[in-house]
A and B are shown apart, each in its own frame.
Chain A
């Protein structure tokens, strides 16, 4: 049982390049989330998907797009990367939408934008 799997683990981009961060969960969870973690800032919500076919903005959505491809997969896309997007990105999932204590995290993607 892999839980929440994120790829890649590390990525370096040049300003203006695009890329997609992949996330998949095998726990049959309904809701999925993308967070970014910056030093001294904790975890901030970028986008979330309460269920297959729906997506909503979180606290810091600018510069990102998401796709809930199916129940298992939730991808995060940077269309034109900027140095301010250098961060560690975490995908998370949970069964419902209101019981947040069941939030399971992936191991993160460390992204550097030069």
Chain B
């Protein structure tokens, strides 16, 4: 089955730094979602995007729905230790089931 490619696979950054990650697909999506998974827990929705070019923020997190509808981006500003976890993108075409990305593992050092 199709999967979404996320990059980078992992990031090791210092507290206070900004983070950028992206997700790409060979297919067009109507919805892009970003989830965060804390260690030992299930994913939790961070941001949902529904329109090409849409830019949405949730606190220090900002996500964008790519113009081509084949990609999406997530930025975290001024990272803190609790940002540690795995970030997943997910895309949906029409009423198809969600397709998840391969994940970006983020480690933040104080």
Interface residues of A (CB under 8 A from B): 4, 35, 40-45, 48, 58-60, 90, 92, 97-98, 100-103, 105-108
Contact = CB atoms under 8 A, between A and B. Distances in A.
Contacts of A107: 40-42
B97 A45 contact: yes
Interface of B: 1, 3-4, 6, 9, 31, 33, 40-45, 48, 88, 90, 92, 95, 97-98, 100-103
A103 B41 contact: no
Contacts of B42: 4, 90, 92, 105-108
B92 A100 contact: yes
A70 B100 CA distance: 27
Contacts of A40: 9, 102-103
A10 B88 CA distance: 23
Which secondary structure characterizes the binding site on chain A?
mixed
A105 B97 contact: no
28 contacts: A40-B9, A40-B102, A40-B103, A41-B3, A41-B102, A42-B100, A42-B101, A43-B90, A44-B1, A44-B100, A45-B98, A60-B1, A90-B43, A98-B95, A100-B31, A100-B33, A100-B98, A101-B31, A101-B33, A102-B45, A103-B45, A103-B98, A105-B42, A106-B42, A107-B41, A107-B42, A108-B40, A108-B42
Nearest to A40: B102
B105 to A, nearest CB: 10
Contacts of B31: 100-101
Query: Across chains A and B, which 6 residue pairs bring their CB atoms closest together, nearest first?
Result: A105-B42, A101-B48, A42-B100, A43-B100, A59-B1, A42-B102
B41 A108 contact: yes
B93 to A, nearest CB: 11
* Listed residue (B42, B43, B98) with the most chain A CB atoms within 10 angstroms of its CB: B42
Nearest to B50: A101
Contacts of B33: 100-101
Contacts of B40: 107-108
